[in-house]
Structure 1
């Protein structure tokens, strides 16, 4: 007769387990943001607190920043995706604007919420040096109306600093970030009350920064209608595909398209619906 081995009972840790901390998803998001910023990547993400930058003067014939209009939408099952608005950037048909126009004609609260989210937003890209990461060279900063308006005010008022892109007589700028998501606030002011300092003490390095700045037009490329519709279905455009073909590949297939999501919640109980209030000029 074969005897069965008795299973050893695991001792319960119970209350004898020492206290320990955790690694939350919010912590992981913060770590990812710090990691992305420290890698010397092209686009810099504003960190909480003080960010000291020096804006790089544009090459001849260009402006110091590239302004674009883009849609930022939350695709069900996928997350946030963005695309340049063909209507405002090239006076072409835009599926995002077309969808928004249809939703605005509805009296349904959820339709109107989607319409608000679908509106094109003003965005800007500029070349800058991050003083704490000068070894990375030129980086691209991304900012909306809240920061842009303070830059413009600073440039127009000599008492606030004046011409901040001048590589010799310009000055460093502080962009202080406070809060998160829809409650994010940015305060922009000159370092040392606008005291003139060179972009870099070494003329060779300074010239290299100016000459090797990033081409900002890449952020203003207008996608085709097919490419936009693919993104709104939860598909990702393959950079290797021919731009005119509008071909795409699935990244994580959305369980529902935006249209399907709207159809499902058509008869929802609106008393439980909490509408997000957001300033049109608010930045995330």
Structure 2
């Protein structure tokens, strides 16, 4: 039985077993539906301390507000599912909004932005066994590689083993690779065509098999170069949303062009849809679905 948002704390305090029960009765669906495209809403930002949207530093800190926005997004036609950490996915399970949706568990969040250990991005979220136990449908992990930071080696090794563990359970894993650098003390992802090409090549070759590996990729700083960039691998890919910008129409146009490329299977977008610069969540989601 689904709950309302005000009920969540009471149920969590008195009946924690309700989460496993909700997961066990959830109606599942194939990863790729009849449309042959994926539209996933992402909400794994809070667990890495990334609460800002535009100039609102704590916009994602209100959990009830975030859940309302997620429920609105998941109710729209063409939205296939959600990507989030355990706490958010379990709230959504209790709210009863994950039936017939693709549920993707976020696997790593150890390398917090601004921390001295930022590039040692160990797996602090879902394990492969957790995703299987909860009957979720896929996992997602971030792979940032800084050639000047030894922590990236630990991240690479952990990523390869996580892919192996997911493949052993026949669970898809979405790998989000970046070549990253510290600029002025802050880690920045290099979105040049060459850097994204290199990140794809590295991610595609990790682990003992790539049979269940997908790529989650940004549109490069040179959008017209995306066709060549995506020739680096035959792995299926989805596009990520990135930061919220004021010129959302320009972002939509970049997505639209990249979605025409043969290896691109859909979109995984978070703040751009949940906290749109203009209009409602429903309007932003419908626009993104229309791009597919």
TM-score with structure 2 length normalisation? 0.23
Higher relative contact order (CA 8 A, sep 6+): 1
Q: Which has the higher helix share?
A: 2
Bigger Rg, which one: 1
